[in-house]
Amino acid sequence: PSGRILCLVNGAFSERFAHIASMCGREVDRYDVAWGQVHAIPQLEERLAMRKYSGVTVVHSETSTGALNDVRAVSDCAHRHGLVCLIDSVSGLGGAELRFDEWNLDYVLTGSQKALALPPGLSFGAASTSFIDRANATQGRGVYFDLVELDAYARRNQTPSTPALSLFYALEAQLKSIATEGLEARWARHKAMAARTQEWLIKISDETGKKLNNIAPLGSQSPTVSAIRLPTDLPAERFTAAVAKRGIVVGNGYGKLKSSTFRIGHMGDHTVESLEGCLAACSSVLRS
């Protein structure tokens, strides 16, 4: 629907979401919290009560910070004010619990290359029937991202233009594998990987006396990615390069966290067992 958008910003990708809304010609207000933090529902309530909006954008798992927003609560809050809620779950979906129908969500998008563990090149969106109806009543939807047309083709099991067919074969194989594991088991596996990372973090900090901490607070840590602040005398570039020498890739921080944090992507086909190798390599660098 047309109208002003409130964008919940707590990292690089929620920032990007606000940028997209603005580049699409929308008037945008931001509700910013510190990178690594999540948004408070009472604060959100206040903002929505103060000004008339048509929609809220929120990022589920902030890939840049490893913070996990409670998108169900955000969506419920938006609905209480009669607004739609758009959810970016790029690194969330397939790794973090998300129940589209039960939670009464409006629109969720994701990519293939994160917790779904597919090659990059596909993106997916789920829209509620009422969201598509609202889109149908909205002008200037463009063509490439026109939900109404995408939905009409999807009902015939088609796409409006030629898709990346070779990746569809990978998708078919991976969806079978995901169904075999079971979504709840998959969410539990990701939670266990995040918990193991947090446990390791405390232990290695104690052991080495180095000050390392997860920038997302306990209870708001994404099950798919941990962003860990390094001691100031250990820049992320140096740390990740040393880890890479041990045959393991961990990421630098993203955006303004580039040098101060590193990120472990414990998602997709990874397991607590495969994560151990990564943590051992990180330990080895921190001990040296």
- Least distance (Å) between residue 254 CB and its own copies: 13
Contact yes or no for 4/54 (Cβ under 8 A): yes
25, 42, 219, 247: which one contacts its own copies (CB under 8 A)? 25
Question: For residues 114-133, which are near its own copies according to CB under 8 A?
Answer: 119-122
Contacts 24+ apart (CB under 8 A), 267-270: 267/91, 267/94, 267/95, 267/114, 267/115, 267/117, 267/190, 267/193, 267/223, 267/224, 267/225, 268/94, 268/95, 268/114, 268/115, 268/116, 268/117, 269/117, 270/193
What is the arrangement of strands in the sheet containing 84-88, beginning at the earlier edge strand?
A: 28-32, 5-9, 55-59, 84-88, 107-111, 123-127
Which of 34, 40, 136, 145 contacts its own copies by CB under 8 A? 145
Single out the residue of 141, 191, 210, 258 in contact with its own copies (rule: CB under 8 A). 141
| Dihedral sign for Cα atoms in the order 135, 139, 145, 150 | positive
Q: Is 208 exposed, middle or buried (0-12, 13-18, 19+ CB in 10 A)?
A: middle
Residue 30 binds to its own copies (criterion: CB under 8 A)? no
User: Judged by CB under 8 A, which stretch of 33-41, 129-137, 142-150, 189-197 contacts its own copies?
Assistant: 142-150
Residue number with CB closer to its own copies (37 or 112): 112
CA-only gyration radius of the chain, Å:
20
167 binds its own copies (CB under 8 A): yes
Looking at 27-35, 136-144, 246-254, 262-270, which segment touches its own copies (CB under 8 A)? Answer: 136-144
> Which residue in 165, 218, 232, 247 binds its own copies (CB under 8 A)?
165
Taking CB under 8 A as the criterion, the residue among 1, 3, 82, 163 binding its own copies is 163
Residue 219 is a binding residue for its own copies (CB under 8 A): no
The residue behind tokens 């990978």 is: 170
What span, in angstroms and rounded, lies between the C-alpha atoms of 71 and 76? 8
Q: Does 255 bind its own copies (CB under 8 A)?
A: no
Q: Which is nearer to its own copies, 119 or 277 (CB)?
A: 119
For the bound state, the minimum distance from the C-beta of residue 139 to its own copies, rounded and expressed in Å, comes to 8
Neighbours of 142 (CB within 10 A): 8
125 Cβ neighbours under 8 A, 6+ residues apart: 107, 108, 109, 110, 147, 150
Choosing from 23, 49, 50, 218, the residue that interacts with its own copies (CB under 8 A) is 23
The residue range among 17-25, 99-107, 171-179, 206-214 that interacts with its own copies, by the rule CB under 8 A, is 17-25
Closest approach of Cβ 19 to its own copies, in Å?
Answer: 7
d(CA 183, CA 189): 10
Among 79-87, 139-147, 174-182, 213-221, the segment contacting its own copies (CB under 8 A):
139-147
Of 129, 157, 162, 288, which lies in the binding site for its own copies, with binding defined by CB under 8 A? 162
The residues that touch its own copies, with contacts defined as CB under 8 A, are 19-20, 23-25, 111, 113, 119-122, 139-146, 162-167
